[in-house]
Amino acid sequence: MPSYKELLKRAKEALPHTEVAKDRFQVPEAKVLHEGSTTVLRNFADICDVINRDSQQVFAYLLRELGTSGTIDERRVLFKGRMPTSQIDERIGSYVEEYVLCSECGRPDTRIIKEDRIAILECDACGARRPLKVVKRATKVEEEGLQEGKVYEVMIQDIGKKGDGIAKKDKYIIYVPGTIKGAIVKVRIEKVVGTIAFGKIARD
C-alpha cells in the first residue's frame, strides 16, 4: 500500500500545471509615440502576447474605452487623437483585470471559452469560472484620405536621399522639403499620388 508521502506526491503531480506564476506576470508598459494628431501604441502586439489574448478583442476594447477610432498596423496600433500614456496604461490594466486575471485566485492562467454563446473565463490554476461581457470585434476604420490643399500636422520621422523630410500619416508617406528629423510641423498637401504625398510647410 502506498505511503502517505507517495500519495501526497501523486496528488501534487495531478494538480493543473500553472504556466505563468502570478508574481512573475507583468504586463509591459505602453510604449507610446505621438505623430501629429495620431497616437501610436508601438508595443501593442507584445502586450497581447504577454496576456495571451486575441489582438482584435483587445483592440476593440481599447477603442471602446478610449472613445476613439483607429487601425492595427502590423504590431502597432494607431489611435485617432492624442492619448496620454497613462490613459492607455489604465485601459490595458482594466482589460487585464476583467478578461485575464482569475477573480478567485488572481492568477493570469486563464482562457476564454464559449458555452451556449456565452463567453466564460476559465482558470486553469484553480478551476474557477465566470461569465464575461462580450467585446465585439472591431472592424477596420478607414481613415479619410489626404486632400490636396488641406493642412495637416505631422512629425518628420526621417530624411530622404534628396534631403526632404519624410512624415507618415495613416497609410500615406509625405515628403516635406526644408524640415529636420523630429520636427512637428504643419504641412499643406500639394499633390497626392497613390499613398505618396508632397507638401510644403504651411506659413499661414
Kindly report the CATH class assigned to 16-131.
Answer: alpha beta
Going from N- to C-terminal start, the domains of the chain cover: 16-131, 151-201
* % of the chain exceeding 90 in pLDDT: 61
Largest distance between two CA atoms of the chain: 91
pLDDT at 19 over 50: no
Whole-prediction pTM: 0.59
Question: What is the average pLDDT across 15-30?
Answer: 66
With H, G, I as helix, E, B as strand and everything else as coil, classify residue 124.
coil
Looking at the chain, the number of H-run helices and the number of E-run strands are 4, 12
Write down the CATH number for the domain with range 151-201. 2.40.50.140
